[in-house]
Amino acid sequence: MSIPDIVSAGLLILGGIFFLAGTVGLLRFPDVYTRLHALTKADNLGLGLIVAGLAVQAESFAAVGKLALIWLLVLVASAFACHLVARAALRRGIEPWT
């Protein structure tokens, strides 16, 4: 294995670990708000690491740009979706678990 292969394998595995941790949080955390924390933050980082791992293998700078763009779009979508779910839960009167 060459050095870029090792770097990208490391980043991909690390990214997968964060996705797994996000899912563990989704299952273990007690209510909708805490679960949102787990999903948005862990997945944001997990996807960032996977994108970085793939960017190491990319054939052109445009492909790197495309990967970065995908990450950015998912980031924006997940930040707003997270806010909207939390707001809907709050407006429905769901009390945060304490």
Partner 1 sequence: MRLRGPLPIVRTLALRLALFALLWWILTEGQPGSWPLGGLFVVLATALSLSLSRPVPWSAVGFARFVPFFLWWSLRGGVDVAWRACAPSLPIAPGMLTYRLRLPPGRARIVMTAVISLLPGTLSAEIVRNNLIVHILDQRVSNEADLAALETKVAALFHIRLSTPPSTHAETP
Residues near partner 1 (CB under 8 A): 17-18, 21-22, 24-25, 28-29, 31, 33-34, 36-38, 40-42, 44-46, 48, 60-63, 65-66, 69, 75-76, 78-80, 82-83, 86-87, 89-91, 96-98
Min separation Cβ 1 and partner 1, Å = 26
Buried residues in 46-74 as b, exposed as e (16+ CB within 10 A): bbbbbbbbbbbeeeeeeebeebeeebeee
- Give the residue with the Cβ less far from partner 1, 57 or 78: 78
- Give the residue with the Cβ less far from partner 1, 56 or 64: 64
φ, ψ at 49 (rounded to 5°): -70, -40
Min separation Cβ 79 and partner 1, Å = 4
Min separation Cβ 17 and partner 1, Å = 8
Closest CA to 25 of 45, 40, 12, 11: 40
CB of 11 within 8 A of CB of 48? no
